[in-house]
Amino acid sequence: MQFEEIGQQLRAYRLESGMRAEEIAARLGVSRAALYRYEKGEVIKLDTIKRLAELLKISPMSLLGIGVEYYSRPVGFFERMRQVEETADQILQLAGPVCYLTTSDAFDAALAEVFEEQAGQPGAETATMRANAEQLMGILAARRRVYTLRRPNIIAMISASSVQSFLANGVAGGLAVSERLRRICRDAAAREIEHIATMMETEPMGLQFGLLTGQDPTSAFTIMRSRDKANLAVNPFRADVAPIGLTGVAMITAADEAIAAHQRVAEASWRDAVKGPAGAARLRQMITATP
């Protein structure tokens, strides 16, 4: 058994469950420190794996990294993405208005302001909402740090319709915010799309963008390849989502047939995508056309 990988999945599933580490440790009959050691890759008995799986309401096979992993909360899914991205050499993304790993600090700043405003609304459970937001923002920031340090090759395809919606509604467009903050979020979205346009023009080494102008893919997905393994993530969650309260199921699998099928879709989409200066010009037209 690869105990480091089991530990990584244990952490992701713990965050997915919404249970506190001390709560899981108490039910398991170990200290919180012991649970954290398991998450860092310490040897763990099979019986303990079975008990953990029961507590987390997953199968022991999922905790062992066999089969398909399912996540219904963004925080658990994004933590698992962070783990896989730590060893990825190539990342292929299809759909969405941006590639989160290449976004600027302004994106996170706008998102943090949205979460803070929501936590301060009347009737909100302020402490809980702030804690959830801080946890999610920390994981997102860690993903970008890993990318900045490792610089894996990225091919990202974004759809024209999702870009138009992003420009019209701004960062965190699905969340209710004040008109003042909505303007800030729209400005941040426009800057991100201009940033993508600049990258399409300059084509920095190891980073390629394509604009999909036809019908949107039915799902967003990412294929992450390392030297000895590939993972497919099918993702209903954008980075600028609420930490809790969403409905959706994300999945991650290393199944060869699933990766091959999605790779074929990605290759066909890339052939039809608008790239380089032409793609940059189309993006800037959309920025200009957005009120």
At residue 247, the pLDDT reads 76
Looking at residues 127-134, what average pLDDT do you find? Answer: 90
Domain boundary among 15, 35, 66: 66
Whether the predicted pLDDT of 123 surpasses 80: no
With bands split at pLDDT 50, 70 and 90, how would you rate the model's confidence at 143? very high
In the chain, the amino acid numbered 202 is T
Average pLDDT, the chain: 92
The CATH number covering residue 24 comes to 1.10.260.40
Based on the fold, state whether residues 77 and 160 are members of the same structural domain: yes
Q: Calculate what percentage of the chain has a pLDDT beyond 70.
A: 99
In the chain, the amino acid numbered 7 is G
Closest listed residue to residue 237, CA positions, set 143, 147, 146: 143
The CATH number covering residue 276 comes to 3.30.870.10
Closest listed residue to residue 94, CA positions, set 200, 222, 197: 222
Using the 8-state DSSP alphabet, how is residue 214 labeled? Answer: S
Sign of CA pseudo-dihedral 35, 39, 41, 45 = positive
CB 101 within 8 A of CB 158: no
Based on the fold, state whether residues 121 and 184 are members of the same structural domain: yes
Question: β-pairing, 153-159 with 90-94?
Answer: parallel
Number of domains, the chain: 2
Comparing 43-47, 178-182, 188-192, 283-287, the range with the smallest average pLDDT is 43-47
CB 131 within 8 A of CB 20: no
In the chain, the amino acid numbered 221 is F
Whether the predicted pLDDT of 204 surpasses 80: yes
Based on the fold, state whether residues 50 and 97 are members of the same structural domain: no
Based on the fold, state whether residues 83 and 40 are members of the same structural domain: no
Residue range(s) defining the domain that contains residue 60 = 1-66
∠ CA 212-246-254 to the nearest 5 degrees?
A: 60
CB 212 within 8 A of CB 155: no
At residue 1, the pLDDT reads 64
Based on the fold, state whether residues 108 and 42 are members of the same structural domain: no
At residue 215, the pLDDT reads 83
At residue 62, the pLDDT reads 83
At residue 246, the pLDDT reads 72
Based on the fold, state whether residues 3 and 56 are members of the same structural domain: yes
At residue 245, the pLDDT reads 67
Based on the fold, state whether residues 128 and 249 are members of the same structural domain: yes
Looking at residues 30-48, what average pLDDT do you find? Answer: 91
Based on the fold, state whether residues 105 and 23 are members of the same structural domain: no
